[in-house]
Structure 1
Amino acid sequence: MVRLPLTPTEIERGQRLGALLRRARGDRSMLDIALAAGVSPETLRKIESGRVATPAFPTIAAIADILGLSLDEVWTEINPPAKPTPRRSRERLAS
């Protein structure tokens, strides 16, 4: 399987996710959180550092649960609101 390079948007999203998880973890040890979530400490470290920008959904769900984050909070934090795009005026079709 060939892994495609990450887009700049995916990289930024991974960095925002890592920052969110670090803030939510606070002073708790990475080891304790990782083990409680059922992931390796190395996996958590890579996610928090942004090195794994697109972790699997079950991994994020497990970590978020242990940190007391809802998936809605995670989604909102890592996906900033889309910039509005100018609307094109509709052209009338001549009959």
Structure 2
Amino acid sequence: MFVLELTYTADLESVEAVLAQHIEWLEEHYAAGTFLASGRKVPRDGGVILAVGGDRAAMEALVATDPFVRAGLTEYRVTEFLATTTAPALAAHRQRLPG
């Protein structure tokens, strides 16, 4: 599982101009089952996405396709973790420790 943390590198006016494209990108990956949750950070200096699937390299390649990244408006911090304990609603995404 991955925590994808976005940090804006541009002003909010520039971010707002690309927001509709970013939302379409999010919806595409929700439909594919890759994204589980997302939202704005408070204060609004970026966002967070909870994602599943693939390995770190695949996830880094995926975030590079975000319209915010393509427009030079944000940077991503990709954090991989093993979700060994989850709420019942996320049980399908529980992971086991290696070994």
TM-score where L is the length of structure 2: 0.32
Pick the structure with more strand per residue: 2
Pick the structure with more helix per residue: 1
Greater length-normalized contact order (CA 8 Å, ≥ 6 residues apart): 2
Q: Which has the larger radius of gyration?
A: 1
